[in-house]
Amino acid sequence: MTVTNERRVLVHPDKATLAGTVAARFITKITDVIDSEGDANVVLTGGTMGIAVLEAINASAARDSVDWSRVSFWWGDERWLPRDDDERNEKQARAALLDHIAIDEAHVHPFAASDSGLTLEEAADAYERELADAAREGTRAPRFDITFLGVGPDGHIASLFPGREGIRETERSVIFERNSPKPPPERLSLTLPVLNASERLFMVLAGPDKASVLGLALAGASFEEVPVAGLQGRRRTVFFVDQDAAAEVPENLIAPVNYWTAADAN
């Protein structure tokens, strides 16, 4: 079967509706993936909307229709902070969803923390090995079925920032950042080729400060200047946005929220 990929923008009236709709789509799709593949790999993100989606999944009446024991969780990036720091993406994701579902802890794959005994560089190497250990033959990471990503006002994704070496990295699966333009300065991140190897990329954006960068990305800006412009999942690349974030999106790229065709089964 030939799978065509396209970028699609789905616009929602407000942040609450946005989070709830993404949660519903996720539950439906991850259930389908488990049925067809036997298991699933999900990459989580942080940020206000990333955590809001996880909270909406947890609040959904359909939450326990998912066989969570077959789902493995990874992270797109992490802040280099102590394990129990409230700013760590892992801690926020656990509070929002993971602590409330029947998961196998062996299937949860956080980045190392700053108090793990590893250096930042060693932590990047360790996560790269963990990805490789779970990868299919000939690949360097697991089959990421759904990867969630937020987008910063500067267009950054994960911890890949405009004009930095990390966004241009093609050999490594994981990079470390020592001087992030957004605090905290030290971070770990998956690289763009690994993100783009995901089957489905779900970007969730809200607020007027995201409108300009989203418009630039969809208009073909350089990924080195606007990192989100470089995203292209293997099957689906979907921007879930609110009205404010959609202000500069070309009208021909906006699909009705209820537009979900047979192609979306991929």
pLDDT digits (tens, 9 = 90+) for 31-74: 999 999 999 999 999 999 999 999 999 999 999 999 999 999 99
Cis amide leading into 184 (omega within 30): yes
Q: CA 47, CA 119: separation in Å to the nearest integer?
A: 25
Residue 229 amino acid letter = A
pLDDT in tens, 182-206: 999 999 999 999 999 999 999 999 9
| Confidence grade of residue 256 (pLDDT, cut at 50, 70, 90) | low
Q: Tokens 């690349």 identify what position?
A: 237
Instruction: Say if CB 207 and CB 244 are below 8 A apart.
Output: yes
Asked whether residue 10 carries a pLDDT value surpassing 80, the answer given is: yes
Domains observed in the chain:
20-186 (3.40.50.1360)
For residue 2, the model assigns a pLDDT of 36
- Relative to beta strand 77-79, strand 187-190 is antiparallel
**Secondary structure of residue 75 in the 3-state scheme:** strand
For residue 4, pLDDT over 70 is answered with no
Residue 259's pLDDT is 46
Distance of CA 210 to the CA centre of its chain: 16
Helix (H) or strand (E) holding 242: strand 236-242
